[in-house]
Structure 1
Amino acid sequence: MGQDTRLEKANEAYKKFAFIEAIKLYNEQIKKGNNSVELYTKLGDSYYFNSNYPEAANCYAKVLANSNDSHLEYYFRYAQALNNSQKYKESEAVMKEYYKKSGKKDLSEDWNEIKLMEGIKKQSGRYTFKPVEINTPFSDFGGTFYGADKVIYSSAKDTGVIIKRKHSWNEKSFLKLYTADITTDGGLQNPVAVKGDVNTRYHQSSPAITKDGKIMFFTRNNYVDGKLGEDKNGTTYLKIYVAHNINGEWKDVKELAYPINSDGFSSAHPALSPDESELYFVSDRGNSFGNSDIYVVSLKKGGYVGNDVTKLSDEINTLGRETYPFMDSSGVLYFSSDGHPGLGGLDVFAAIKDLSGVYHVVTLGDGVNSSNDDFAYAINGKNKKGYFSSDRGGNDDIYSFTENSPPIFDFDINPIVFGTLKFTSGGPIEGVAVDIFNDKDELVKTVYTDAQGKYKADLEPFIDYKLVYKKSGIAEKIQIAPPFKPMEKREYSFEFVNEMEVVVDNETKTMKPGDDLNKVLDLKPIYFDYNGYNIRESSKVELNKIVDLLMTRPSISLQVNSHTDSRGRDEFNMKLSQNRAKATVDYIVKHGIAADRVNGTGYGETRLINRCSNGVPCSEAEHQQNRRSEFIIIVK
């Protein structure tokens, strides 16, 4: 009876997730001769959930050798434990057996040591990283961005308790949330406990904060009205809560409603999509095997969560543990898992959907990942700096990193903007500069149209862009481009007026810099009265033609040259021509053309176009030829 009582206590500890105590009690039973499959199953799980994979593998080997009706999941978990113990050949063999018994597509090759190491090598060497200054001898992990210069992270430093961070926590270990300042080199300093009502005597962890800094989702024990909530068996699970920033303090803490939370399962580790329209989180709902999966639910403004909870596909979720999701500004989903083949323990993976909606998953490689647990990855999409956590040093610590190159997927994830630019007359426009500005009005790249008038540019997703089309001889155009989704292909094609072409009397004429619009437009001469500079009514009709042309051709500017005949004093004629040039410019500007596009110069009688110089007898018609205005084309 005493032995039965000790076994009952062991099973009770197991149900309470007190795995350290369960390990001690189960081993006592083994020494007393209890070698049941059930005992080794629970002992193996207790080792497994504390990352003691060699001992877990030993237990699972006994379970599978002595039971013909073991759950298929234990083949998977046994393979995990072997993989995490770097026994890759044995792991691949067990996975092959798992797929054979399950009838699923055989993916055991993914666990092959050569293939696994080739994939890891391909993704390795992309980071530089180091521990941060705020790490303590206790558990410190996470690093959620809070504004431009702070993070919020979790620590047990004030409780003096070193814990194992797992899907379910031991109730004697207390985590609180702290803020820390980001240094110029990506380090962390000045840790301060988060102000407000978020921190309690129980666990708080893994926050997700909106870009405006007003709303925070976070993980906490089921804690309501000053006491722990429990299920019918007395087990306390994790829940996701939301808090609002009120004058710098996190207040108005509320539990998210079902189907996010329940007293009968855990939900934890919230993460926001880049546009904050979705909330990703982890839950063990519907999974009695002790594993966790990643889910997503819609999110509305103000932090209101929908009820459309969806489990991510099997490319992400496995029979292992998927946890700590994070989505960067490019739409890449990062998460930790021990169910995907890796270096051991929890490894960090990156995933993104292709155009058909299928996730492609890759490891982040050696450096971020190790043979220990690596998790809580977060990256700033703009400066490529971030944080992840690992117990590779014997305890959970935070590491800062700089990503020197992005994860390598088997397809291009960047969106593309493209288009074709043509003249209204039908021909393509070659050499148009397409300047692309980001949401900070910074020029990020310039591309040019080819001989067919086509252009194409790769962009970053989830960013507002402005495209500016420019070339001498066409009107500049600005196109506002709302954020692109990953791999989106969006077309912006336009027709432009060829500013250097004009139709006169049904004839298309091509203009060039230095041409005189008098000849191009076949204008009647712009005449002035003798010794005067008032524009004649008949000449206004011709000037209006010039105004119309300039209105539709903003790249064209004019140099107005005014001349007189030779009669009268030279000084008088120079002043007269200057006044005529000014009168002409003033007329054009008054009718809607920018003043910086029209410049006037008077030349007096210095540029006669016939023989009628001083003292030479000429007819009035001959003198009239010299009293002229020129409109010389300048292209800016």
Structure 2
Amino acid sequence: MNSTINAQNKGLEKANLAYNKFAFIKAIALYEQEISKGNTSFEVYSKLGNSYYFNGNYPEAIKAYSNMIDHLNNVDSEYYFRYAQALNSTQNYKTAEEVIKKYYKRSGKNDISDNWNENKLMESIKKQSNRYTINSVSINTPFSDFGTALYGKDKVIYASAKDTGVIIKRKHSWNEKSFLKLYSADVTMDDGLQNPVVLKDDINTKYHQSTPAITKDGKTMYFTSNNYADGKLGTDKEGTSYLNIYVAHNVNGEWSSIKKLAFPVNSDSFSSAHPALSADESKLYFVSDRNNKFGNSDIYVLSLNKGGFVGNDVKKLGDEINTLGRETFPFVDDTGILYFSSDGHPGLGGLDVFAAIKDQKDKYHVVNVGDGVNSTADDFGYVIKRSTKKGYFSSNSSGNDDIYGFTENKPIDFGMNINPFVFGTVRDFDTKKELEGVVVEVFNLADEKVNMVYTDADGNYKVEVEPLKEYKFVFKKEKYAQKTEQIEPLKLLGSKELSVDLINEWEVIVDNKRKEIKEGIDLKDVLNLNPIYFDYNGYNIRESSKPELDKIVALMRDRPKVSLQVNSHTDSRGRDDFNMKLSNNRAKATVNYIIAQGINTNRITGKGYGESRLINKCSNGVSCMEAEHQLNRRSEFIVIVNEQ
């Protein structure tokens, strides 16, 4: 009897040792042997189910979890959740909903099992359907290819387990597939991928490398690797090696200065993997199984400093994102939308890709990105370039991990308006009374009018804009000077208040003083401009004069009824005919500069007067200092009122 018990204990010890080292294929065989010998304990069935589950063999995981839950008492509520996950992954939606209800009843948590209802689930998927055009890429192999990262304008870096020429392939004990290396590939004109090349630098070790995240300038890369340094694998006390995140820098085209990120990102006692950068590259998202006895992974975030240095403010994302399932492969697009894969949120099966956005209360709203990308298999590694609406994702829907390209044909529906907006109030400058009927025109960077609204009876307006784009707002009302304001890019769900006061079109405030604009007046005097000087015998606009001319441009832009006559003068030195030609060239150069800033050609003319209108005694034959001659090399800007 004792020998039988000892044999069982040794068999279970071997199985647990393999399980703890993530050698799940080996663990499965050993646990099955234990069951055949009559060991039907909670430990055996739970770890057998987990071993199948972690390898994506959901039908066998269901059998193990079912045996455990149906025949054993006091099973942790978390196993009901995982059992429901496995059922959902095999499209047993009705049974999955029944099991998840038991989980919420046993756990005492807020019951949201209705989200697992098949009709509701399929309706949410349908809402996001037909959004993608999917195409295969030519770099896929019979081995695992996944985890694409955008690299510059026309490259990607991805992970592959394809044969690199080693006769005996090194196996990863988690799933008995070849170890992964990082490769680069070129993006083709039709957004396919070609010319895969293994990274030759110090990035690739003899163990795993995968899931890179690269800064927009292409100089820094974060990636996943085994805890490997100085030729050795780092392990915990039991000899288990975990995944860590590393950073590398591109110097003269080579990835070097590779360092493992410090604690609290990495540790010898838990895994951290799949890094992702926030839109402004100030934060690092990553996945970790820390503090997680159930073996699932969660998404974390922390601050990121220049040079690849991370802060110590690691924060687990909230329950809107993280579940008792596996949340993994985060990616943040340029608008701030967080994409990730999960089998803990109800989906089509296996890992589905989800999108999440924070509202004004800092709470994430999560939706399934829909079919096309998502399938009944594992779908993950989603990346998108927002400007082109093109990207890549990975899936094992073909039976192996492959990369797919896609085009997003319409935006995701979060069930709420997520575009930013600009709002404000327009008032009279003098009376501060709200102005009704003010035209608010919105222009894009190409100076194309993209929207137009009017202020209401209270002088208020509101305009929706696209995220991360610059705009120009122009406020117009009869008898008032126009007001032009630039709007910096806004994030999704962002807003900006832009309130303005409009002044009488024939007045201007300069140095806190009100000045009148009228026919025949010189704007140089109205705007207190510094003189527009030219070099001796030259007619190019000085850099020092451009800010002064820009003030004239601003006044004319906001007052369409103001036209100008530019008068240009020279000093007395040189021949009279030469000076006349020189002054005409100076007038022309001044007019051309103002036109180049967007003022219509029919609103400005120029004329040269040579040395015929000197403003001091420095005529021909009179000895003067250079500074006195320079006073005569000037321009005048005479107002012409255009009432049309």
Structure 2 CA distance for partners of 1:632 and 1:127, relative to 1, 3 Å? same
1:66-145 alignment, distance < 5 Å:
66-145=71-150
Residues 95 and 108, structure 1, Cα contact 8 Å, conserved in 2: yes
How far apart, CA to CA, are the structure 1 residues paired with 2:182 and 2:44?
Answer: 37
Work out whether residues 481 and 506 of structure 2, in 8 Å CA contact, stay in contact via their aligned partners in 1.
no
Distance apart, 1:169 and its partner CA: 4.2
State whether residues 438 and 475 of structure 2, in contact with CA within 8 Å, keep that contact through their aligned partners in structure 1: no
CA distance in 2, matches of 1:516, 1:198: 72
Q: How many residues align?
A: 542
Is 1:435 equivalent to 2:442 in the alignment?
Answer: yes
**Which deviates more from structure 2 when the two are superposed, residues 323-332 or residues 463-472?**
463-472
Shift of 1:399: 0.5
Q: Provide the residue aligned with 1:634 in structure 2.
A: 642
Give the superposition deviation at 1:446: 3.5
CA contact (8 A) 2:155 2:185 kept: yes
Q: Note the residue ranges of structure 1 that are not aligned, 5 or more in a row.
A: 504-509, 519-546, 561-578, 602-629
| Root mean square deviation of aligned Cα | 3.6
1:578-636 superposed Cα distances (whole Å, 9 cap, x missing partner): x9xx99xx9xx99x9999645599xxxxxxxxxxxxxxxxxxxxxxxxxxxx9863268
CA contact (8 A) 1:330 1:460 kept: no
Rounded Cα–Cα distance in structure 1 between residues aligned with 2:444 and 2:375: 39
Correspondent of 1:19 among 12, 18, 24:
24
Deviation string, structure 1 residues 448-473 (Cα, Å, up to 9, x no partner) = 43465544332333x36242426587
Aligned to 1:264: 269
Asked whether the equivalents of residues 557 and 634 of structure 1 are also in contact (C-alpha less than 8 Å), the reply is: yes
* 1:447 and 1:456 in contact (8 A); partners too: no
- 1:499 paired residue number: 505
After superposition, the C-alpha distances for 1:518-557 in whole angstroms (9 at most, x for unaligned) are: 9xxxxxxxxxxxxxxxxxxxxxxxxxxxx9xx88974234
Q: 2:259 maps to what in 1?
A: 254
What TM-score comes out, normalization by structure 1 length? 0.78
CA distance 1:559–1:202, shift in 2 (3 Å): closer
> Which of 351, 370, 378 in structure 1 is aligned with 2:383?
378
Distance in 2 of aligned mates of 1:43 and 1:376: 27
Q: 2:333 matched to 1:325?
A: no
Query: Does 2:282 align with 1:277?
Result: yes
- Larger mean CA deviation between 479-488 and 405-414 belongs to 479-488
Q: Which amino acid aligns with 1:634?
A: N
CA–CA separation in structure 1 for the residues paired with 2:265 and 2:143:
30
SS across alignment from 1:302: helix
CA distance in 2: counterparts of 1:364 and 1:429, whole angstroms: 43
- From 223, 232, 237, the equivalent of 2:228 is 223
- Matched residue SS, 2:313: coil
Residue aligning to 2:621: none
Distance of aligned partners of 1:270 and 1:460 in 2 relative to their CA distance in 1, 3 Å threshold: farther
CA distance in 2, matches of 1:327, 1:138: 27
Unaligned runs of 5+ in 2: 1-5, 510-515, 522-551, 566-579, 608-637
Moved more, 147-156 or 426-435: 426-435
Question: What corresponds to 1:343 in structure 2?
Answer: 348
Query: Is the aligned partner of 1:353 residue 2:358?
Result: yes
Tell me the equivalent position of 1:608: none
Alignment partner of 1:417: what SS?
strand
**How high is the TM-score relative to the length of structure 2?**
0.77
Contact 2:475 / 2:484 at 8 angstroms: preserved in 1? no
Give the % identical residues: 58
Q: Per-residue deviation at 1:13?
A: 1.3
Determine the structure 2 residue equivalent to 1:206: 211
- Shift, 1:481, TM fit: 3.1
Q: How does 1:515-554 map to 2 (within 5 A)?
A: 554=559
**Match of 2:182, as an amino acid?**
L
Q: Which has the larger radius of gyration?
A: 1
Aligned residue type for 2:315: T
Residue 373 (structure 2) aligned to one of 368, 372, 376: 368
More moved, 389-398 vs 402-411: 402-411
- Please state whether the residue corresponding to 1:305 is helix, strand or coil: coil
CA contact (8 A) 1:468 1:476 kept: no
Alpha-carbon contact 1:557-1:598 (below 8 Å) kept: no
Deviation at 1:183, TM superposition (A): 1.4
| 1:459 equivalenced with 2:446 (yes/no) | no
> CA offsets, 1:428-458, max 9 Å, x none?
37464533335xx675834343465544332
Find the residue that maps to 1:142 and give its secondary structure: strand
Q: Verify the 8 A CA contact 1:422 1:494 in the aligned structure 2.
A: yes
State the alpha-carbon separation in 2 of the partners of residues 297 and 78 from structure 1: 32
- The corresponding residue for 2:45 is 40
Which deviates further from its counterpart, 142-151 or 20-29?
Answer: 20-29
Deviations 1:351-388 (A, max 9, x none): 11111111111101121111110000001111110000
Q: For residue 179 of structure 2, what is the aligned residue in structure 1?
A: 174
Within 2, Cα distance between the matches of 1:425 and 1:411? 40
Paired position in structure 2 for 1:31 = 36
Q: What's 1:300 paired with?
A: 305
Quick check: 2:473–2:487 contact (8 Å CA) kept in 1? Answer: no
Who is 2:615 aligned against?
none
Q: Kindly provide the CA deviation profile for residues 77-98 of structure 1, in whole angstroms up to 9, marking residues without a partner as x.
A: 0111111111111111111111
Q: Deviations over 1:130-167 (max 9, x none)?
A: 1111101100002111111111111011358999x99x
